[in-house]
Structure 1
Amino acid sequence: MNRPELDYYAVLDMPRTATKEQLSLAYRRLAVRLCPHRDRRYEQDFVPLAQEGKLTHLSPMGEAKQWAYINMAFDVLGNELYRAIYDRYGEAGLFEGVILPNGYFPPYQYHGDHMRVYEQVFSSYSPYANVIDAVTNPPSLYATREHGIGVRHKDASTERIIHLSLEEVRTGCVKLMHVWRQEIVDAKESRLEKRKHTLKLIIQPGTTAGTRYCFKEEGDRYPTTIPGDIIFIVADKPHPQFERRNMHDLVYRYNISICQALTGFIFYVHTLDKRQLKIVITDVVQPGYQKILPLEGLPKCRNLDAVAALKPAKKKFDEFGDLIIEFNYIFPKYLTPGMKAMTREFFGEFRKSELELEREEKKQMQ
């Protein structure tokens, strides 16, 4: 990575051995000071006055940036799975995703809703948390002649799979997703009509399978509910030549004869970005042999939306996976007696030459 990794424990001013309860208390002590909606009259209920002048390593930053840092840090460390990934693989593994024994852990993405983290922690602790939530996020109400007055609840999310070709993953692309949804078409909110709606999906180069793109409240519109989210989940489309491995590596399989395996050969690979690579094999291609071309795989996709202050915008994708070439042996389907005799004679002479070479090497060593 182009910058030092962020130490989330240092952000909360706690050691790595801290328990979840200790991390929660550390977050509370900082949050009651930094919450932009806090009522300063009540700060003394949570932070002793003797600590009012206490400085931390975040103190030189503005309160808005400190507020963003502590919420992201607790969103990770307050979740047992996220914390385990961060402790073992660091921030890079957290943002890029890792392969776990029980499956693939997709890249972590901070939702950016600081008050959501605050409310989860203070819902049963802060005497003014509910007031803050009501002011900053008031409940949505409906008032219709048919249904009366009530609180609008959010509909369930709709998930859809979007298959991407490896060419689209390699270069990135823009997808226009057309969805049909119910919409209110009159001022009295009494008549619904199904209409076509287009969502713009920006695919970054190197996007991994399992990445989720959420369009908030883009679902059906009904008078008494809040529209649900529409979520697109990325999946790889099968490719005739390449296969993705370890998120960013590409595997290419090439068929060879026994003669080629022993004597060497040259072939060409047409890449996803329409280049042609000349591959020269001079080694004996034994079972399990692989030819690895560094930086010829897929770009390594970065998490660009974790916290705006932490990641530079419009980052170039300058890191790539590898191209791994594997070989399949093609044996003849049938040999005549004459062909078998020629093969035995050839390998007999071949073995004699091997023994002579071994004897010469032993003499030179002596």
Structure 2
Amino acid sequence: MNRPELDYYAVLDVLRTASKEQITLAYRRMAVRLCPHRDKKHEQDFVPFGQEGRLSHMSPLGEEKQWAYINMAFDVLGNDLYRSIYDRYGEAGLFEGVMLPNGYFPPYQYHGNHMKVYQDVFASYSPYANIIDAITNPPSLYATREHGIGVRSKDADTERTILLSLEEVRTGCVKLMHVWRQEIVEESRLEKRKHTLKLNIRPGTTAGTRYCFKEEGDRYPTTIPGDIIFIVADKPHPRFERRNMHDLVYRYDITIAQALTGFTFFVETLDKRKLKIVISDVVTPGYIKIVPREGLPKCQNMDAVTAIKQANKKIEDFGDLIIEFNYLFPKYLTPEMKTMTREFFDEFHKLELELEEEEAKNMNLE
């Protein structure tokens, strides 16, 4: 670059090894004196920089120029990425862009909004922020013959529950929600009119997801319409139940004979496929069968830009299908059946003992 580079550390009067907290404190110390929105009557509480005996290369500059420099310096040094690039490549690399290991860093450009930097640090850009905001961003007012002139307050939000079937959650869908709201059809006449709101339900949307339509509530002359919020809830399903947001639970009834000898059955999925389930294990109490990736799509929170880019992207990450079993016991056994059952389990226990003795002998031989 043709012009001499600016030393941001010198601008904030800190060492290059200063921590982020030290840089922030240095900026705060200077900003409270240089901020153009400070209260003039309290200036006597601050000793001018020139009288501190700590003159710097900024001292000859006017307060307006110093104010601009400290905000630009903190915008760079207060950001870990900007600071690391500045430390390694200098101001030239910061403004011209550099190639980093994970991609190209585009040229940095200071936004020029000094009050934004100040506000990010102090959480309010001045002790008189409310007054200044009222001037630069005045509140919404109403003026009617009936009510005169006043400040419009916002109405309460309206929340409604929307029930989604698991099939709708599986594939995603579009819901057109019809609401009736008050509207001003003439200067003072109100009328209930039908209004349609469109909900784009992404595959895998979880219960509790909120869709907010800002200021779509009733219209009144003296108020700001409230928000209409739709809250997703699961509609009860005859076969499945959602668990852990993206898993599906399926319960299957089995007899004692099936639990001991094994069995095969089919599960119809939400998208009408038939899954063949083969159980060869002994189904003991608490036994579950997990079929990977046969649950609901995993819906991730994304910002608006990412959601638009991935709108047509196929979802490949799914939860699991969890199969639980309910035991069906016979309601009645004849005496002969009871005798046969006892004999069976007696033989079974004898066989178990023989196997245990044989295993013990083998271990002793080894």
Fold match by TM threshold 0.5: yes
Q: Please tell me whether the aligned partners of residues 72 and 110 of structure 2 are also in contact (alpha carbons under 8 angstroms).
A: no
Q: 1:96-111, aligned counterparts within 5 Å?
A: none
Report the residue type matching 1:308 in the other structure: V
* CA 131–312 in structure 1, closer or farther in 2 if over 3 Å, else same: farther
Query: Which of 232, 235, 246 is the aligned partner of 2:233?
Result: 235
* CA 133–207 in structure 1, closer or farther in 2 if over 3 Å, else same: farther
Which residue number corresponds to residue 46 of structure 2?
none
Higher RCO (CA < 8 A, seq sep 6+): 1
Q: Please tell me whether the aligned partners of residues 251 and 325 of structure 1 are also in contact (alpha carbons under 8 angstroms).
A: yes
Which residue number corresponds to residue 287 of structure 1?
285
Secondary structure (helix, strand or coil) at the match of 2:351 reads helix
* CA 351–64 in structure 1, closer or farther in 2 if over 3 Å, else same: farther
C-alpha separation in 1, matches of 2:143 and 2:308 = 43
Which residue number corresponds to residue 167 of structure 1?
167
User: Deviation of residue 310 (structure 1)?
Assistant: 9.8
* CA 182–52 in structure 1, closer or farther in 2 if over 3 Å, else same: closer
Q: Please tell me whether the aligned partners of residues 170 and 299 of structure 1 are also in contact (alpha carbons under 8 angstroms).
A: yes
Query: Which of 240, 254, 257 is the aligned partner of 2:255?
Result: 257
Secondary structure (helix, strand or coil) at the match of 2:342 reads helix
Report the residue type matching 1:337 in the other structure: P
C-alpha separation in 2, matches of 1:120 and 1:322 = 48
C-alpha separation in 2, matches of 1:356 and 1:260 = 25
Q: 1:109-120, aligned counterparts within 5 Å?
A: none
RMSD of Structure 2 on Structure 1 (CA)? 3.7
C-alpha separation in 2, matches of 1:237 and 1:119 = 46
Which residue number corresponds to residue 215 of structure 1?
213
* CA 50–302 in structure 1, closer or farther in 2 if over 3 Å, else same: closer
C-alpha separation in 2, matches of 1:232 and 1:263 = 49
* CA 331–204 in structure 1, closer or farther in 2 if over 3 Å, else same: same
C-alpha separation in 1, matches of 2:164 and 2:151 = 40
C-alpha separation in 2, matches of 1:310 and 1:169 = 17
The alignment-based identity, stated in percent, is 66
- Aligned positions, number: 284
C-alpha separation in 1, matches of 2:250 and 2:237 = 10
C-alpha separation in 2, matches of 1:46 and 1:199 = 46
Larger Rg: 2
Which residue number corresponds to residue 141 of structure 2?
141
- String of CA shifts for 1:136-186, please: whole Å, max 9, x gaps: x43212111111112111111000111111111111111111110000111
Which residue number corresponds to residue 121 of structure 1?
123
User: Deviation of residue 273 (structure 1)?
Assistant: 1.3
Does residue 347 of the first structure (1) align with residue 351 of the second (2)? Answer: no
Which residue number corresponds to residue 96 of structure 1?
none
Query: Which of 209, 221, 224 is the aligned partner of 2:222?
Result: 224
* CA 65–342 in structure 1, closer or farther in 2 if over 3 Å, else same: farther
Q: Please tell me whether the aligned partners of residues 119 and 129 of structure 1 are also in contact (alpha carbons under 8 angstroms).
A: no
- String of CA shifts for 1:310-361, please: whole Å, max 9, x gaps: 9954254221111111111111111121111111111112222222333333
Which residue number corresponds to residue 308 of structure 1?
305
User: Deviation of residue 283 (structure 1)?
Assistant: 0.6
Report the residue type matching 1:283 in the other structure: D
Which residue number corresponds to residue 322 of structure 1?
320
C-alpha separation in 1, matches of 2:360 and 2:246 = 46
* CA 191–322 in structure 1, closer or farther in 2 if over 3 Å, else same: same
C-alpha separation in 2, matches of 1:62 and 1:129 = 35
Secondary structure (helix, strand or coil) at the match of 1:122 reads coil
Unaligned 5+ runs, structure 1: 1-17, 33-37, 68-113
Q: Please tell me whether the aligned partners of residues 167 and 273 of structure 1 are also in contact (alpha carbons under 8 angstroms).
A: yes
Query: Normalising by the residue count of structure 1, what TM-score does the alignment of the two structures yield?
Result: 0.68
* CA 341–47 in structure 1, closer or farther in 2 if over 3 Å, else same: farther
Unaligned 5+ runs, structure 2: 1-18, 32-36, 38-62, 83-104
Which residue number corresponds to residue 132 of structure 2?
131
User: Deviation of residue 130 (structure 1)?
Assistant: 5.1
C-alpha separation in 2, matches of 1:352 and 1:66 = 85
Secondary structure (helix, strand or coil) at the match of 2:139 reads coil
Report the residue type matching 1:154 in the other structure: K
